[in-house]
Structure 1
């Protein structure tokens, strides 16, 4: 009898997961609002229930006896997965833990004492209070949020800040600004055993909004630094109570090779990191393993780098990429997509005009 998997969400971000589940021979139940549900045609059962109606999803999953619940690359759907799976008694990280992890203050408090990590000074409060009291320069971010929305760099020249309207009354956190290179660590956890699968090297705009422009795998790091990262991430995940599923942990490494934790995301990396880059750069099928964790069928395997993969995002900051969208196809181009005619000066990772996804026997420099 086929195993039954519930997939939360039906947007483009969940499409690779739905396709992978079908490829694995799983019976798929997809829950989402019908409008814009691109996954609808790729699953066995599409159930038009909003992801915010978690109790209804739980009841449906209980009645059809699903074996696991999954989603990828979304904080919103990760919460629903946790809520439903926990009530069903299936493998997951508890809902309460995921709620805690979405609070950046909780994560900072739980991890600042980990010996390998360099400590980050921070303060929490209303926007006006932090603006006047915290030593500059610093990074200002909403306590809860994702995709760099509402993130600002505050130095001596900043007098007033504009934040998105829906964050006007939010609680903010000011963190000392760390100078260093950005990386993310892609992991899979099963029963509190954490495996670092890949490390992604990131290139961004820097201050003031820290929008991400490029991702490359594997990251180019000294061997001893990579080992320290691979050793410390399991400590981070255990300290915050994350025990099952995919995670995407953002860090910085400074010129003294000190490692700073930026934030932990309790889901696979977005921007094609978990949906494509890991599968291209390693021999590890990340989406398959994510589903096997949800089904309580996961078995650890050795992971090897087999290629270089990456993605370049088109925006006003990367107008140099425009000719790459008109040139003939190259062997290293996996996928490229252009959106709109005008280039956007991105203020968050949601504001982009296209991308080029690559895979090669060397890092592609554009």
Structure 2
């Protein structure tokens, strides 16, 4: 039986451990939280920070692990380091550095001539003021590296937004660098891909619904993406080129694109599967490809065969209650019984502030649905969302 070390044991990762156990893998969970939800699901659990390179490497060496899997951005550098030290399958550090730092990422894509917004990297508020004069308004400010989840991302409509955007991003900046980008009007997409020996296979593509908020947090991902075959082919070709340019030779990549009036443009890429339910539930529901198992197989040196992929419907919907203190929730259990529900739940507790869309980590809850078509999955998601009632004290 192959041993796979998984970096991260949070609530959203439970299904990864269940799936790998069912496939016959011995799972080793590493998470700094001694009470990590996945700790009890793994065969072995170590309460160690996944960013502790030497600590994780020592565990991998002592347990004779056959492969190491990062399921979020914070673990990708550690996975790369451990794989290099122990001669395991993995990505080179140059690849994960480019995938984590949006400035480096865009520099790589720029050298390849790939379609993307104009951008500038900066460090200070004064530099941002200069850069916005070059980029123009509206524009987008982000940390170049924040760990994902939309942390510190905002849209600037005028010079009056500059100071606020800088201060909003600053707490999430991990390397002292920010990036300002041209704002591209269009519909955002997420694209999941799997690389095997440099051959990139597109597994699932969604389009996003986003409210007109400064922080631009998505409220729904709908599969498959509703674009013409011509546009979808352009997106596929662009994403494959982007994944190869960054250097993701094996395993998952999660890429985001904006489809503008003049064609698709790259937003960003993560050298791991999509977050939340995407990696372990949605990809398989849409395509029939079991991403956790196939990723574990390729990382432990086993053969991987890409099956004939399907293109079923799925929806990843996020609840949007009004802003206030959560006092109660009604009909969640009833909604869970609807046909086509893959999962439904809350990410906030009674007494928490809800309706504050600072980033994707502040969402209140979710429903994941499936259907033979996109439209069928949307119908189920709409019905579930209409059933669930949030009791909120405004604030």
Q: Is the 8 A contact 1:205 1:317 kept in 2?
A: no
**For residue 210 of structure 1, what is the aligned residue in structure 2?**
216
> Which deviates more, 276-285 or 45-54?
45-54
Please give the alpha-carbon distance, in whole angstroms, between the structure 2 residues aligned to 1:263 and 1:279: 23
Please give the alpha-carbon distance, in whole angstroms, between the structure 2 residues aligned to 1:8 and 1:281: 25
**For residue 104 of structure 1, what is the aligned residue in structure 2?**
102
**For residue 348 of structure 1, what is the aligned residue in structure 2?**
359
Tell me by how many angstroms 1:356 deviates: 1.3
TM-score (norm 1): 0.90
**For residue 93 of structure 2, what is the aligned residue in structure 1?**
95
Q: CA RMSD in A?
A: 2.4
**For residue 191 of structure 2, what is the aligned residue in structure 1?**
185
* Residue-pair matches, total: 360
Q: Which among 156, 161, 169 is matched to residue 158 of structure 1?
A: 161
Q: Is the 8 A contact 1:197 1:303 kept in 2?
A: no
Instruction: Work out whether 1:260 is the aligned partner of 2:261.
Output: no
The superposition leaves residues 84-138 of structure 1 with CA deviations (integer Å, 9 ceiling, x where unpaired) of 11211111111232123211111111113545x4342111212332134422111
Unaligned runs of 5+ in 2: 383-395
1:32-71 superposed matches below 5 A: 32-71=31-70
**For residue 121 of structure 1, what is the aligned residue in structure 2?**
118
Tell me by how many angstroms 1:317 deviates: 6.6
Unaligned runs of 5+ in 1: none
**For residue 174 of structure 1, what is the aligned residue in structure 2?**
180
Tell me by how many angstroms 1:207 deviates: 4.2
The superposition leaves residues 5-37 of structure 1 with CA deviations (integer Å, 9 ceiling, x where unpaired) of 112222223322222221111122222235231
Q: Is the 8 A contact 1:252 1:260 kept in 2?
A: yes
Please give the alpha-carbon distance, in whole angstroms, between the structure 2 residues aligned to 1:82 and 1:142: 22
TM-score (norm 2): 0.84
Tell me by how many angstroms 1:50 deviates: 2.6
> Which deviates more, 327-336 or 171-180?
327-336
The superposition leaves residues 241-290 of structure 1 with CA deviations (integer Å, 9 ceiling, x where unpaired) of 2222211001000134x110000111110131112111111211111111
Q: Is the 8 A contact 1:186 1:200 kept in 2?
A: no
Tell me by how many angstroms 1:318 deviates: 10
Instruction: Work out whether 1:315 is the aligned partner of 2:326.
Output: no
Please give the alpha-carbon distance, in whole angstroms, between the structure 1 residues aligned to 2:170 and 2:117: 28
Structure 1 residues 304, 324: closer, same or farther in 2, change over 3 A? farther
SS in 2 for 1:336: strand
More helix by share: 2
Q: Is the 8 A contact 1:316 1:345 kept in 2?
A: no
Please give the alpha-carbon distance, in whole angstroms, between the structure 2 residues aligned to 1:120 and 1:330: 42
Structure 1 residues 123, 306: closer, same or farther in 2, change over 3 A? closer
Q: Is the 8 A contact 2:116 2:267 kept in 1?
A: no
Q: Is the 8 A contact 2:141 2:169 kept in 1?
A: no
**For residue 300 of structure 1, what is the aligned residue in structure 2?**
305
**For residue 73 of structure 2, what is the aligned residue in structure 1?**
75
Q: Is the 8 A contact 1:193 1:243 kept in 2?
A: yes
Structure 1 residues 219, 324: closer, same or farther in 2, change over 3 A? farther
Q: Is the 8 A contact 2:131 2:180 kept in 1?
A: no
